[in-house]
Amino acid sequence: MGVFAISQLDAARLQRGLLELAQRDPERADAVRQRAREAVARLSPDFPGDPATGLLGKTKAQRKRFESFANDEPCPALDLDEGTCDLYEVRPITCRTFGPPVRVEGGGLGVCELCYQGLSEKEVAACEMIPDPDDMESRLTKQVEKSTGKRGDTIVAFALAGP
């Protein structure tokens, strides 16, 4: 629940996954695409970026607005009836790393509060996961941005709402 920034690499993975889902289960793929289009329609008027491209704004004010933007919006890949992700195999890195302690901007550990109740900071730090030790994500993201011409973060709804 809630929108979050994804890279162009994540967007490309989601789009590829949606095409693969359309081959296996066209009805489910159509439902994901429809949820994405509906989300884009709801989110576009207040989107802190360019609603025509789906790219998030880069100014300090736009980034600040994004912090509290659409926090209750369900992800278009989420089947609310089943409570499952229809694109689980290609989910964004944020989803793949949710739960374990992961180092975030500013140097602190981002952690799921539900998973680490009652533990000291030292105990939580001992569980730290480094999701991309070789920094492959940023290199691959640059390649995708170069090949598509789209640079910057977006959100799942814009990535999946395509034609």
pLDDT (tens digit, 9 = 90+) per residue, 98-142?
A: 777 777 777 777 776 667 778 888 888 888 877 777 888 889 889
**What is the rounded CA–CA span in Å between residue 132 and residue 115?**
21
> Is residue 73 a part of any domain in this protein?
yes
> Is residue 1 a part of any domain in this protein?
no
Closest CA to 156 of 6, 35, 2: 6
Burial 24-43 (b: 16+ CB within 10 A, else e): eeeeebebbbebbeebbeeb
pLDDT (tens digit, 9 = 90+) per residue, 41-82?
A: 999 999 999 999 999 999 999 999 998 899 899 999 999 998
pLDDT (tens digit, 9 = 90+) per residue, 133-162?
A: 788 888 988 999 999 888 999 999 999 997
Identify the domain containing residue 78 by its residue range. Answer: 8-160
149: left (phi over 0), alpha (psi -120 to 50) or beta: left
Tokens (6 digits) for 11: 């967007």
Number of domains in the chain: 1
